Structure formats: structure tokens, C-alpha cells
Structure 1
């Protein structure tokens, strides 16, 4: 009975190996979450730039975008064009389509310099390097 309940060296070794694998898994998840969070922050930066640009538009500029959108819809054979011709500007779906159109047009105006976030890019690259180094190691710490 005593032999069956006593922890053997092999059991201790398996337990230690399991703990190392679990710790490695937790560390990998933390790195992946950090990368995800930084990439989301970059996306939020882009959204904020577009919103600021939209808020800064004059009524004349908005009218030009509306006219461009209207011309596209009137000349289109797609379902959105048909919907626009049928419902007009008072329909909420048309307004939503215009908002998407305007968003995409404003996004096209952003330059690479506007979107650059060197601080975030460096952190993301560091985490990716950590992940690469981390994945080339075995649970015991030696390289594969």
C-alpha cells in the first residue's frame, strides 16, 4: 500500500515537466494578448483619426461627398442603387450606406505618416520576437 501512494522520481519529473509546459502556455497566451491589445490600439488610433477628419469637414465638403454618393447610387444597377432610387435620402439604410461610403473615402485620405505609431510598432515587434524565441525553446529551456 505504501509503495502505491508514495510519489516516485518519475512522477515528480512528469509533474515538473507538466508545470513547465503549463507555465510556457500561460506565457505564450500573455504575449499573444499583448500583441492583440497593441494592434487594437493601432486600429483605435486609425478610427480616431477618421472621426476627427469627419468632424472637421465643412458642410460644403459633406455636400460634395453626398453628391458623389448620389451619382454613384443613381448610376448603379446593384440593389443598393435601386434602394437609393426608391427610398431617397430619408431612409436610414441609405444614410448608413452613405456613412460607410464617407468612412471609406476618409480612410483613403489617411497617409502612412498619419497611421504610423512607432511606439506601438516597436512593442509589437518586440513581442513577436519574444514569441519567436519562446517557441524555439523546449519546456526544459534548451533550444530545439
Structure 2
């Protein structure tokens, strides 16, 4: 078994992996940028374009159900959750942020499939825009790393 604590020098190889992204349409400009950055990074890591699927859902609360359907298909090595929840003036922000994160985690544990959670939760649009590209790339790297780690475990 490889050392699970390999640090930043980790060589990530996505060749042969099948990965699906679930993108929430709410705050679409930001989630489109997340998805584009994620896809570009997956390609840079060697994942074939035809092995990357994208499913779009209305919002962050719908992401876990789509992830569950994808996990049940047993067609993927890893999944990626993409969304953006921006704080408003009501309690709705906390509800959506907490429940979407709990749902993503539950699917990963129930189906033993790596899920990179890139559902941004920010105070405002500027914070989301500042994170959209980096978080999209990070999600791709997490998905590939965890898919390879689970292969080794």
C-alpha cells in the first residue's frame, strides 16, 4: 500500500478513471466556471474527455440525489459535487449549506465512492468568484487522488 500522506509532491494520474460531475444551476455563472475549471484539470491529469460526465440539477439540495443515482450505477471511480450557496438575509443559507454537505457525505459513505465536494458556501458573490477556478481545479485533484487511494486500500 502506498503512503497515504504523500503531500503536495503527489503525482496524480487520472488515466483510465471515469468521473462524473454534478453541477447545480443556481448561481450558474459561478457553477459554470467551477465545472469548466474542474473539467480542464481532469483533462490535464489524464482523464479522457469521454470518461467525464456532467449532470446538471436545479440547486445544491438536489446534488446529493443525483450523486446517489450515479453511485448506484457503479459506472464511476469518483464523483464531484459542484455548486454555490451565497448567504442571504434568511436562515435558508445555513439549511442549504448544511443539508447539501451532509447529503454529499452520506452518499460517499453509503456507496464507498470518493466524492469531491466543491459546493462553495460564501458570504457574497465576490468571494464565490474569487474561489470558483481554484476550487474547481482542487475538486478534480481530490477526485483523482481519492480514486487512486481507494484502489490501493
TM-score range, shorter chain: under 0.3
Task: Pick the structure with more helix per residue.
Answer: 1
Tell me the TM-score normalised to structure 1 length: 0.26
Task: Pick the structure with more strand per residue.
Answer: 2
User: Using CA pairs below 8 Å that are at least 6 residues apart, which structure has the higher relative contact order?
Assistant: 1
Tell me the TM-score normalised to structure 2 length: 0.25
Structure possessing the higher radius of gyration over alpha carbons = 1
